[in-house]
């Protein structure tokens, strides 16, 4: 292979690679890369594998450096193959008039005998496709020919489907193929220093062992061996399929959306191909590229954008995130407190026990926060009154929140069990096992009964919020504990009130609302997830105001190298009033 790269001509390389594939050399080297026999990088076998890998990069680079020239028979034959594999329909020129009305000579038949969009229908920008291979060279035309041959039916059907579309809606297949070639070229760092070393080492076996010294600091074979590089054609085909799929799903149009889809495919290759270990089979990588949807690709794109801006404005974004966290916490506190101001019905202990036993009976308790947010009013009822909101005058008993010392609950444990059950349902497709506790019975019932009528059937639950505090001195008007079994002293803590929410969401509202009224942090997963979501979207909306040129790329590169640089000021929002936007959010 070394002699072929150094001494062979560009026309000999394809036949030589085909010969290596027929002999199983490329597959054998890939198996050695994925195996354990070459895990020691300081052996002659590792040296030979690295030399083969380096020469493969050299060959790819040399192919890219070859300019496409239609005067060369090989190049002309390759373009003709691309055209013929598309199975074009015969083109008939429109009939010309035999005698024009003005008496002039009839026009002669034009020299053009092929379709006026012979190459543009394949995805080229013009009818002179040779110059479009300037960036990819002969490597680009080889990849396109290989894709057309590997997927002849798909290639033909794709062109037929796009023939009935508007020109703006068609995905330029040829341009997409060239973009994928450049994406893979950059991903495998074909122009990197290792390729330059391999070029110098071609024909010099001793320098191959010298290159092993450069890998002593990085003795991880997973980062040195690149067996997927030897599957260039299959990766190109899978990535181009992903390009076409994302184009169709997103409803992209030319010319503005082409580079957006190109960037998504670039991220797709970095995530899927880049995350694959040396033992990963190329079929698994192809499946990964095939299964990633548009939403996931967009999410990866946003994460990458966040990393870039985090590197560029790390301290400033940290301050923005802290500010948004405080604002989101205050917003959630107000939302939870308003739920308490609205009031809610809770079954008493006897009602919950009767529901768990499958019999009727028991009572209800209506609880509501006062308008000054200092007292928690409540009253016990024999029956639940639907569709009515009780006023504070109808709730004579109350608890002074100044006497509350703590709020205890088992809501967090119930949330964890509910999440585990949801994961089990997604994995098995059905509910596994029988409920082991009344908490699980509530979760099963809530998931099954989502309508308002089913919520009125008092599902059994042990979700409980316990308000603990001290009783006021005798003679002072205030809270009385109807649930206390003893009469403790004035300074002793006792149970002031118990609430048994009927759902996890209601439990989260009341538990975190009471905690926030006591200036404590929320503890339920529902509230913390909502706060994190608001912080996340707030940071993203702030980043939308940043332009690409706002990033100091030189300072960013120095910071990555560990050098200290002066922080740039984050652009302010001054003068942007009235330019806010609403964004649709997908509810999972």
Q: What SS3 class is residue 406?
A: strand
Per-residue model confidence (pLDDT) at position 264: 93
Q: Could you report the per-residue pLDDT of 508-546, keeping only the tens digit for each?
A: 999 999 999 999 999 898 899 999 999 988 887 777 666
Tell me if 567 is assigned to some domain.
no
Among 211, 230, 249, where does a domain finish? 230
pLDDT at 579: 56
Task: Decide: helix, strand or coil at residue 270.
Answer: helix
Judge whether 481 and 494 are in contact, CB under 8 Å.
yes
Is residue 225 domain-shared with residue 349, that is, in the same domain? no
pLDDT in tens, 152-194: 999 999 999 988 899 899 999 999 999 999 999 999 999 876 5
Q: Which residue has the higher pLDDT, 138 or 443?
A: 138
Average pLDDT, the chain: 77
- Structure confidence by residue, pLDDT tens digits, 400-451: 999 999 998 887 655 555 555 555 554 444 333 333 433 333 333 443 344 3
pLDDT at 143: 94
Last residue of a domain, one of 204, 230, 256: 230
Could you report the per-residue pLDDT of 56-113, keeping only the tens digit for each?
Answer: 999 899 889 989 988 888 899 999 999 999 888 776 665 555 555 555 555 554 444 6
Q: Same domain, yes or no, for 221 and 348?
A: no
Residue 553 covered by a domain: no
The pTM for the full model equals 0.61
Region 239-263 average pLDDT = 93
Q: What is the CATH number of the domain that holds 495?
A: 2.30.29.30
Domain boundary among 198, 214, 230: 230
Q: Are 84 and 145 in contact (CB under 8 A)?
A: no
Closest by Cα among 443, 396, 448, 391 to 420? 443
Residue 64, C-beta contacts closer than 8 angstroms, at least 6 positions apart: 136, 137, 138, 139, 140, 185, 190
Question: Left (φ > 0), alpha (ψ -120 to 50) or beta: where does 346 sit?
Answer: beta
- Quick one: 220 and 338 in the same domain? no
- Encode pLDDT of 541-584 as tens digits: 777 666 656 666 676 666 666 677 666 565 666 666 665 555 55
Residue 111 lies in a domain: no
- What gap in Å lies between CA 390 and CA 386, rounded to an integer? 10
> For residue 453, what pLDDT is reported?
42
List the one residue out of 131, 124, 178, 168 whose CA is nearest residue 256.
168
Q: State the average pLDDT over residues 337-341.
A: 93
Buried/exposed 499-523: b ≥16 CB within 10 Å, e otherwise: bbbbbbebbbbbbbbbbbbeeeebb
Cis peptide before 559 (omega within 30 of 0): no
- The domain containing residue 11 runs over which residues? 2-89+119-230
Asked if residue 502 is part of any domain, the answer here is yes
Quote the number of domains for the chain: 2
Q: Indicate if the pLDDT at residue 366 is higher than 80.
A: yes
The first and second tokens of residue 53, run together, are: 């890998």
Between 373 and 543, the more confident residue is 373
């Amino acid at each position: 292979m070394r002699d072929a790269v150094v001494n062979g001509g560009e026309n000999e390389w394809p036949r030589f690679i085909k010969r290596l594939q027929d002999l199983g050399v490329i597959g054998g080297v890939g198996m050695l890369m994925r195996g354990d026999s070459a895990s020691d990088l300081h052996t002659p076998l590792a040296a030979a594998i690295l030399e083969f890998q380096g020469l493969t990069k050299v060959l790819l680079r040399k192919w890219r450096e070859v300019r496409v020239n239609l005067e060369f028979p090989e190049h002309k034959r390759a373009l003709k193959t691309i055209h013929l594999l598309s199975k074009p329909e015969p083109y008939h020129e429109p009939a010309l008039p035999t005698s024009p009305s003005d008496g002039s000579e009839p026009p002669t038949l034009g020299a053009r005998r092929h379709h006026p969009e012979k190459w543009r229908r394949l995805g080229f920008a013009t009818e002179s496709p040779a110059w479009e291979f300037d960036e990819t060279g002969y490597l680009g035309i080889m990849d396109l020919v290989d894709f057309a041959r590997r997927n002849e039916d798909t290639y033909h059907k794709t062109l037929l489907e796009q023939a009935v579309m508007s020109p703006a809606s068609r995905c330029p297949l040829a341009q997409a193929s060239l973009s994928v070639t450049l994406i893979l070229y950059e991903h495998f760092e074909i122009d990197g220093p290792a390729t330059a070393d391999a070029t110098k080492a071609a024909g010099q076996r001793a320098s191959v062992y010298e290159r092993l010294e450069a890998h002593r600091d990085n003795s991880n074979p997973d980062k040195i061996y690149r067996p997927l590089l030897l599957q260039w054609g299959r990766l190109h085909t899978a990535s181009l399929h992903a390009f076409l799929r994302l184009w169709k799903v997103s409803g992209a149009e030319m010319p503005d959306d082409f580079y957006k889809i190109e960037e998504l495919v670039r991220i797709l290759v970095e995530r899927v191909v880049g995350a694959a270990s040396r033992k990963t089979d190329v079929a698994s990588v192809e499946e990964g590229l095939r299964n990633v949807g548009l939403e996931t690709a967009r999410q990866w794109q946003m994460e990458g954008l966040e990393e870039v801006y985090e590197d560029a404005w790390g301290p400033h974004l940290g301050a923005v995130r802290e500010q948004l966290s405080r604002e989101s916490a205050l917003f959630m506190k107000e939302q939870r407190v308003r739920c308490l101001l609205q009031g809610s019905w809770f079954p008493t202990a006897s009602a919950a026990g009767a529901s768990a036993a499958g019999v009727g009976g028991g009572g209800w308790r209506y609880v509501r926060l006062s308008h000054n947010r200092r007292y928690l009013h409540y009253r016990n009822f024999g029956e639940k009154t639907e569709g009515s909101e009780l006023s504070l005058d109808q709730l004579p008993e109350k608890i002074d929140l100044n006497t509350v010392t703590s709020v205890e609950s088992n809501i967090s444990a119930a949330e964890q069990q509910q999440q585990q059950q949801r994961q089990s349902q997604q994995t098995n497709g059905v509910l596994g096992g029988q409920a082991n506790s009344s908490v699980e019975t509530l979760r099963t019932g809530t998931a099954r009964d989502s309508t308002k009528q089913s919520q009125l059937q008092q599902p059994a639950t042990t979700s409980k919020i316990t308000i603990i505090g001290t009783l006021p001195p005798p003679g002072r008007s205030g809270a009385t504990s109807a649930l206390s079994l003893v009469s403790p002293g004035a300074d002793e803590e006792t149970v002031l009130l118990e609430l048994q929410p009927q759902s996890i969401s209601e439990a989260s509202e009341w538990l975190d609302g009471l905690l926030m009224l006591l200036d404590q942090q929320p503890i339920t997963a529902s509230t913390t997830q909502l706060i994190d979501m608001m912080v996340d979207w707030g940071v993203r909306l702030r980043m939308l105001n940043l332009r690409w040129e706002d990033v100091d790329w030189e300072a960013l590169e120095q910071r990555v190298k560990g050098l200290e640089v002066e922080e740039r000021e984050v652009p302010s929002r001054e003068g942007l009033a009235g330019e806010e936007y609403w964004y649709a959010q997908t509810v999972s």
